[in-house]
A and B are shown apart, each in its own frame.
Chain A
Amino acid sequence: MDIFTEFLGHLALGFQTAVSVQNLTYCFIGVFVGTLVGVLPGIGPLAAIAMLLPATFNLPPVGALIMLAGIYYGTQYGGSTTAILVNLPGESASVVTCIDGYQMAKSGRAGPALAIAAIGSFFAGTVGTILIAVAGPPLAEMALKFGAPEYFSLMCMGLIASAVLASGSMLKAIAMIFLGLLFGIIGTDVNSGMSRFTFGMSGMADGLSFVVVAMGLFGFAEILANLEKGQDKASRELLTKKIAHLYPTWNDLKLSAGPILRGTAIGAFFGTLPGAGPTISAFSSYAMEKKMAKHPEEFGKGAIQGVAGPESANNAAAQCAFIPTLTLGIPGSGTMALMLGALTIQGIAPGPQVMTQRPDLFWGLIASMWIGNAFLVILNLPLIGLWVKLLQVPYRMLFPAILVFMGIGVYSVNNLDLDIYMTVFFGLMGYIFVKVKCEPAPLILAFVLGPLMEENLRRALLISRGDPTVFFTRPISATFLIATILLLIFMIMPNIRKKRDEAYQEPPGA
């Protein structure tokens, strides 16, 4: 069988799995609920998935993953809708969409802005899906040959990448990685059976639950930060103007084609790289379009390219983030870590073997991603009116509801009150992080990788009898480490540092 028919066979299997009434329903519910939550300001994909995770416990594995994946791009897309309509990014990846999207909406072109965001996202999602299907099998095959040193070096690269690409001070981001690794190894050490950093509490013997940390840092802390700003009075300039026409003009489409293509490429690149993600993709795409435009002065005043590029980029990245997650079993971001957590809860060990052992699950998920993206386009454009209504609910009525969902979401994972108390701890920590400008994204990734990293470091050095050169004498491992070092050197170089800061400098909510 040649590669092409094999590829078609995989896709056929995928669509067979995904196109059952049951799975289509899960996909639809996921996308719908995801968009709903994404439209609400202050809840990003991570908190949304953590909150809705318990709802999937009773589903069959394929259905659960399909629904979670749907929630994931639903929130991504919902975030853009708020960015365009109310100038409030629903999550960090849509910060740049605010700039030109909102300006377009102000001048009565909300419809085309939303439509182009949907079209760009759909195109990027389609390309992403094909990429996963093409790149997945060879990558998984390669990953099967990975030993402990390779895994350790790969994780180093992912973590450093997440620090380099985070906004703000690099020093802080790297320190956050170490803090995350420390939080990650709390609990019983698998090798010695010893309890570490549990403060004598039996509820912590299994380690901190990911949902607790994510909910604290991204849910609880966000609400505190919003309340500090007094969000109700702040920039909720809802556009009450009727959205006149939805369809972009021929000229809009012509202007957007290039940005969509380039955005997709940028997103696919950053998405596949563990540690990077939708946010940096969107920022880079915006910076690039501004450079390439014939009339860069239009950016910030409602240039459609400024919506098309970043929106395609963040969706491509969101999609391609599944590549390392599914093939290597190494999550590229906090959200992906939750997806892996969901797999584990369903009794499936994540890793390269999933593809061969559960091909229906793997290919079904991929097919459902494409279907989910299609749902987004079909669903969102007619439902914009509903989202606008939802946005009119004042924040003071919204956040108590969010608190209840968070509380039940956290409690239902282990039915343990300690988890709730720990959420408060991480919530307050997260608020401190906001105050001292430490971005929590690298921490959460490190938290997930902590135990894996220790285990692989330990195993690698056991096999090499304590000789640390093992990481450099094995070619694949050496490649990852050299890439890591290059990343660090690049960032220290003043020129590139300035570029990175510039990319993040586009005023959020300007």
Chain B
Amino acid sequence: MKIKNEEDFWAGIMFVGFGLLAIYMATDYPFGTTSRMGPGYFPTWLGIIMSLLGGALVLQGLRVDGAKLGKWAFKPMILMSLGFIIFGWSLDHLGFVIATAALVILGAASGTEFKLKEVLIMTVVLIIGSWALFIYGLELPYPLFWWR
């Protein structure tokens, strides 16, 4: 079988996947009855309907011609995610300055052009600017460095 419309096909697979996961996980929650619904009732039905809709999309993707997915932006996907994760973790552990620096540098690195000097200046400017706005101005309680 050939996938004729990649967009529809993979969207369908995604919905079926989430739907089945929801149904499976909801088996742990009491289902109840229609007049006395348990915590499993609503999500199970959501999962069932979503899987059916997803299934219809998969079939449509196999039958009707359509678009391809095209290339993915893997580099920014990885670098930006990494930047965010490091930012989230280090805000509490290493302090605001390092967290922000990591986010700016990794973020900038995920773009198409990376000019070291420009990025370093940007990092400094953004750290000072967001410190002034958020920590000094709005009094958000984040430590600047790990020694607090």
Taking the closest CB of chain B, its distance from the CB of A462, in whole angstroms, is 6
The reply to whether A181 and B46 form a contact with Cβ atoms under 8 Å apart is: yes
Chain A residues with CB below 8 A from B39, complex form: 189, 191-192, 194, 196
A427 sits at the interface (CB 8 A): yes
Interface secondary structure of B, over-half rule: helix
Chain A residues with CB below 8 A from B108, complex form: 396, 400
The reply to whether B69 and A436 form a contact with Cβ atoms under 8 Å apart is: yes
Chain B interface residues toward A at CB < 8 A: 7-8, 10-11, 14-15, 18-19, 22, 25-26, 29-30, 33-39, 41-43, 46-47, 49-50, 53-54, 56-57, 60, 67, 69-73, 76-77, 80-81, 83-85, 87-89, 91-92, 99-100, 103-104, 107-108, 110-113, 118-119, 122, 126, 130, 134, 138-141
Chain A residues with CB below 8 A from B84, complex form: 220, 403, 407, 420-421, 423-424, 427
The A-B contact count (CB < 8 A) is: 187
In this complex, what residue of B is CB-closest to A420? B88
Chain A residues with CB below 8 A from B71, complex form: 228
Contact A228:B22 (CB < 8 A) given known A403-B103, A412-B134 = no
Q: Please report the C-alpha to C-alpha distance between residue A178 and residue B19 in the assembled complex, in whole angstroms.
A: 9
Taking the closest CB of chain B, its distance from the CB of A212, in whole angstroms, is 11
The reply to whether A438 and B25 form a contact with Cβ atoms under 8 Å apart is: no
Contact A424:B72 (CB < 8 A) given known A189-B39, A399-B107 = no
The reply to whether B110 and A175 form a contact with Cβ atoms under 8 Å apart is: no
Set B43, B56, B107, B130: member contacting A408, Cβ < 8 A: B130
Chain A interface residues toward B at CB < 8 A: 54-55, 58, 169, 171-172, 174-175, 178-179, 181-182, 185, 189, 191-192, 194, 196-197, 220, 223-225, 227-228, 230, 232-233, 395-397, 399-401, 403-405, 407-408, 411-412, 415, 417-421, 423-424, 427-428, 431-432, 435-438, 454, 457-458, 461-462, 464-466, 468
Contact A182:B43 (CB < 8 A) given known A58-B138, A436-B11 = yes
Contact A179:B15 (CB < 8 A) given known A224-B77, A424-B85 = yes
Taking the closest CB of chain A, its distance from the CB of B116, in whole angstroms, is 13
Q: Please report the C-alpha to C-alpha distance between residue A28 and residue B145 in the assembled complex, in whole angstroms.
A: 35
Between B72, B77, B92, the greatest number of chain A beta carbons within 10 A of the residue's beta carbon is seen for B77
Chain A residues with CB below 8 A from B73, complex form: 224-225, 227-228, 431
The reply to whether A404 and B22 form a contact with Cβ atoms under 8 Å apart is: no
The reply to whether B57 and A400 form a contact with Cβ atoms under 8 Å apart is: no
Chain B residues with CB below 8 A from A189, complex form: 29, 39
Chain B residues with CB below 8 A from A171, complex form: 53, 56-57, 60
Taking the closest CB of chain A, its distance from the CB of B59, in whole angstroms, is 11
The reply to whether B34 and A403 form a contact with Cβ atoms under 8 Å apart is: no
The reply to whether B46 and A182 form a contact with Cβ atoms under 8 Å apart is: yes
Chain B residues with CB below 8 A from A431, complex form: 73, 77
